[in-house]
Amino acid sequence: MAVSSNSIRSEALAHHLCSKTPCLIGFSSRNRGSKLFFTRTSNFRRARRSFHVKNVSSVPDQKLQDSTTDIDEASGDLGSFAPDAASIASSIKYHAEFTPLFAPEKFELPKAFFATAQSVRDALIINWNATYDYYEKMNVKQAYYLSMEFLQGRALLNAVGNLELTGAYGEALNKLGHSLENVASQEPDAALGNGGLGRLASCFLDSLATLDYPAWGYGLRYKYGLFKQRITKDGQEEVAEDWLEMGNPWEIVRNDVSYPVKFYGKVVTGSDGKQRWIGGEDIEAVAYDVPIPGYRTKTTINLRLWSTKVPSEDLDLHAFNSGEHSKACEAQSNAEKICYILYPGDESTEGKILRLKQQYTLCSASLQDIVARFERRSKGHVKWDDFPEKVAVQMNDTHPTLCIPELMRILIDLKGLGWKEAWNITQRTVAYTNHTVLPEALEKWSYELMEKLLPRHVEIIEMIDEQLVDDILSKYGTSNPEILVEKLNVMRILENFDLPAVVADLLAELQESKIDDPSEKLEIPDETAPTDEENEPEEEEDIDKKKDVTPEPSPAPPKLVRMANLCVVGGHAVNGVAEIHSEIVKEEVFNDFYELWPEKFQNKTNGVTPRRWIRFCNPKLSDIITKWTGTEDWVLKTEKLAELRKFADNEDLQIEWRKAKRSNKAKVASFIKEKTGYSVNADAMFDIQVKRIHEYKRQLLNILGIVYRYKKMKEMTAVEREAKYVPRVCIFGGKAFATYVQAKRIVKFITDVGATINHDPEIGDLLKVIFVPDYNVSVAELLIPASELSQHISTAGMEASGTSNMKFAMNGCILIGTLDGANVEIREEVGEDNFFLFGAEAHEIAALRKERAEGKFVPDKCFEEVKEFVRSGAFGSYNYDELIGSLEGNEGFGCADYFLVGKDFPSYIECQEKVDEAYQDQKRWTRMSILNTAGSYKFSSDRTIHEYAKDIWNIQHLEIL
């Protein structure tokens, strides 16, 4: 039972005022163990710190001493000792009383969470400040990671885990009447992301801090995030996320760090000949900082999130007092809504404008901040040519593309540099990570809209486009105008624009020279000469019809700005996120650019942090790994996981392994009961597909496979069913974008199938279908340790990498999937016998779609059987004609089975039969599970970050000792 609030208040005050009782302020480096530094509040002085620099380019280690701070001899040295529960409890009590966010009467779970988080934050702030004091002092090169998403998950357990204080905080909270697990469950997931893109960004920040790399993250502080998903009888329902309603104990608003951001207005030329962007709509971007602690290190880096507002004077007080309240608050409303929603619907013009405002706000505020830090560190001796030697900007996908013209604008318009110098600096500073091969995800913006909203940036983009045209001309020359025009049409940043005058004139001259040269005879049709058909006499009725019909002129295609092309042109490095993806990027997506600049293109296979995704979320398995490898070093050096291979057949290890998995499954069974009302058997196979709902990820293939399984079960006797099929709990999770109608149909279909199967008494526990609502990081941390089979079944060549596949393999889950994204590399590492492979390969996809378009595809009879079963109404009265219709026909939007569900279906069913066979042999299955964990060592984000630091950013380790 929780202790009384009155008791906490009196003890907190006594502890705070007593000079003999220490207050938590920091902790030691990884090399000196997990110790907290405490000091008497009456005589606190900052301690001397030393620093250690490790150069990634193998320069010998350097020892550096910070002499700026000394210990006050009169007050004595800082005492240090291992953290104890009493001291931590005292700190929690202090915050419950003196950092109040709740009424004082009770010390219930929400209040306990905030007080505990603030206690942990105290420890982080000391190291946070020390980290950046040192970066400022040393003027080191720093990486800045810009992303529209940071899918962080809960921070409390991650923070105390990285500080190695889990046990101490658990004991302290027990003394206060609560468990750490229950307190941590009060924390909402930060609604700053949606899927793999945002989770990757957060894994990278964890690794950057853990590996002592100087770096910042930059994003937007969304008030409501994407949305909270509810599952009703109608499928998915979206409601606003409420993660900030109770406040965020981790963030610190920096009221002294804000930057102006401009929209609209016009560009004028001053008397000095310089361009100036004036007028328009002005807002302010204010910094909110979140500490990101590393594991076993004092390094604590920063995630800076921008919130938007306008100055108080922008409130039209006269209008307000006149009763025109909406008009009076219009400026505030326009500014604040920029940071309301992640990915607002963009089908309307207003939605498109809002999205573009979001992207520019992120880029403008972040670049202004980066430039200001560079100037401050230069201490009055600014050398702009040194900017790329001190700054690396990584664009996570195309959302931050406006970094390129914004940096150019700052350098040219505000800092007075010339075009050539600014362009050289920009290209050396910026790099781009591509995350998709889907055409719709390679952003294109309306030129008209962008010109209206960001007029100066459009001018700069036009100049960059001219520069690109010159580069293409230099590369390909004019000897073959057809190839030249083809390259320009594909590679230019500006789409559906006339050719530049110099190129058009050149082509005209070439055309004329061919006409004048008898050896170059051109077949030019004489449009005035009558054809044979025209010589035929026309009937009078036909002549009258022609008089009445005036052909409609074809509408001109819209002028667009290709953001991905701008990324490639404006940066010095372009990387894919898995080996197969990077090859597709070079051979297909950006092949023309690869021919022009092959040195720009790299591969950086994604990774996941082993701290959050195994050490903290799966403690039972972590303990087993530590026991059998003989060390906990695998948490930082995941190559040590490979040592599990030599024990894969050990019976004792297998027994421990299965016991840990069974315990995790029992937790998930309780969670499913709580969230959905369904009871599932924890001894059944847990078969899981959790990820963003999208047609290319093929949740539809999975659920149709389940329907086929169910249909075959219904055709059997109970004895036959139990002999052929192992019990399965098929778990889905993920959000369909609010305006993605087909994805929402898939969610509805899954829930309808589940409602039918789960209530079928003939099937019982032999098959259950569960859709987990509002899938997020915290749910993933529960599901992944319990998983036994995980589905990564995207159409080959369409998944850039995937990171959930890495998390599942790391936790001993066996994958069923196509040769797509990181599946290829995972299969190589874990072994072909420990991966269930099916489906067409990436190099076959184009030909298979062509076969479909020509009407040559013959669907398998089992696939036709499943479709008819769905249409029969077996899963309710909802009309699934449009969903099933998308898998039929040979051409047309929303038809022709573009994602090859029907083609891969028989291969998928056959593969699932092999899964059943393998699971029946638990010794074999456990061996496969162990080898999956052993083979996942390559997929740590630590490895990925090392490669970024060395190959793209050229930054150094900087460990604070």
pLDDT digits (tens, 9 = 90+) for 497-550: 998 787 788 777 777 776 666 555 444 444 444 444 444 555 555 555 555 566
Structure confidence at residue 14 as a pLDDT band (50, 70, 90)? very low
Per residue in 557-593, pLDDT (tens digit) is 999 999 999 999 999 999 999 999 999 999 999 999 9
pLDDT of residue 277: 96
CB within 8 A of 781, min separation 6: which ones?
153, 612, 613, 616, 617
Quote the mean pLDDT of the chain.
89
For 825-848, b where at least 16 C-beta lie within 10 A, e where not — what string? Answer: bbbebbeeebbbbbbbebeebeeb
Burial of 709 (0-12, 13-18, 19+ CB in 10 A): buried
For 215-254, b where at least 16 C-beta lie within 10 A, e where not — what string? Answer: bbbbbbbbbbbbbbbebeeebbeeeebebbeeebbbbbee
Q: Which helix (H) or strand (E) holds 911?
A: helix 901-920
Structure confidence at residue 792 as a pLDDT band (50, 70, 90)? very high
- Count how many Cα atoms sit within 13 Å of the Cα of residue 604 in the half-sphere of its side chain: 30
pLDDT of residue 481: 81
The answer to whether 572 is a known catalytic residue is: no
pLDDT of residue 500: 78
Give CA–CA dist 779/789, Å, rounded. 17
Kindly state the tokens that stand for 121.
């934050």
Binning the chain into helix, strand and coil, the percentages to the nearest 5 are: 50, 15, 35
The answer to whether 456 is a known catalytic residue is: no
Nearest in space to 729 (alpha carbons), one of 770, 673, 757, 668: 770
The answer to whether 803 is a known catalytic residue is: yes
pLDDT > 50? residue 727:
yes
pLDDT > 70? residue 295:
yes
pLDDT > 70? residue 723:
yes
Beta bridge partners of 37: 26, 80
Per residue in 837-875, pLDDT (tens digit) is 999 999 999 999 999 999 999 999 999 999 999 999 999
Identified catalytic residue from 457, 692, 698, 938:
692
Q: Give the position of tokens 């092949």.
A: 591
* Positive/negative CA dihedral, 946, 949, 954, 958: negative
pLDDT > 60? residue 69:
no
pLDDT > 60? residue 699:
yes
Identified catalytic residue from 116, 803, 818, 933:
803
Q: Contact 176/8 with Cβ under 8 angstroms?
A: yes
- Identity of the residue numbered 795: T
Structure confidence at residue 185 as a pLDDT band (50, 70, 90)? very high
| C-alpha dihedral (504, 508, 509, 510), degrees to nearest 10 | 100
pLDDT of residue 578: 96
Measured from the Cβ of residue 856, the count of other Cβ atoms closer than 10 Å reads 10
Lowest average pLDDT, out of 79-83, 175-179, 713-717, 740-744, goes to 79-83
Supply the DSSP symbol for 76: -
Query: Mean of the pLDDT values across residues 627-645?
Result: 97
Per residue in 463-504, pLDDT (tens digit) is 999 999 999 999 988 778 888 889 999 999 999 999 878 778
Per residue in 408-431, pLDDT (tens digit) is 999 999 999 999 999 999 999 999
Supply the DSSP symbol for 149: -
The answer to whether 807 is a known catalytic residue is: yes
Termini Cα distance of the chain = 41
Identified catalytic residue from 586, 807, 903, 938:
807
Identified catalytic residue from 199, 435, 586, 852:
435
Query: Mean of the pLDDT values across residues 281-287?
Result: 97
Give CA–CA dist 158/167, Å, rounded. 13
Per residue in 752-781, pLDDT (tens digit) is 999 999 999 999 999 999 999 999 999 999
Quote the percentage of the chain above a pLDDT of 70.
87
For 130-160, b where at least 16 C-beta lie within 10 A, e where not — what string? Answer: bbbbbbeebebbbbbbbbbbbbbbbbbbbbb
Q: Give the position of tokens 């005292």.
A: 90
Per residue in 211-257, pLDDT (tens digit) is 999 999 999 999 999 999 999 999 999 999 999 999 999 999 999 99
Identified catalytic residue from 691, 698, 709, 735:
691
Does the predicted TM-score (pTM) go above 0.85?
A: yes
Concatenate the DSSP letters of all residues of 391-437 into one string.
EEEEEESSTTTTHHHHHHHIIIIIT---HHHHHHHHHHHEEEE----
Within 517-577, where are the H helices?
532-535, 540-548, 563-570
pLDDT > 50? residue 56:
no
pLDDT of residue 411: 98
Quote the percentage of the chain above a pLDDT of 90.
78
pLDDT of residue 31: 40
pLDDT of residue 507: 75
pLDDT of residue 546: 53
Per residue in 300-357, pLDDT (tens digit) is 999 999 999 998 888 889 888 999 899 989 999 999 999 999 999 988 999 999 999 9
pLDDT > 70? residue 18:
no
Structure confidence at residue 40 as a pLDDT band (50, 70, 90)? very low
pLDDT of residue 525: 43
Query: Mean of the pLDDT values across residues 373-379?
Result: 95
Query: Mean of the pLDDT values across residues 80-93?
Result: 82
pLDDT > 90? residue 901:
yes
Query: Mean of the pLDDT values across residues 684-705?
Result: 98
Give CA–CA dist 199/768, Å, rounded. 29
pLDDT of residue 30: 44
Supply the DSSP symbol for 219: E
Query: Mean of the pLDDT values across residues 102-124?
Result: 93
Q: Which helix (H) or strand (E) holds 701?
A: helix 699-714
pLDDT > 70? residue 78:
no
The answer to whether 691 is a known catalytic residue is: yes
pLDDT > 50? residue 12:
no
Give CA–CA dist 187/21, Å, rounded. 29
Identified catalytic residue from 296, 357, 697, 867:
697
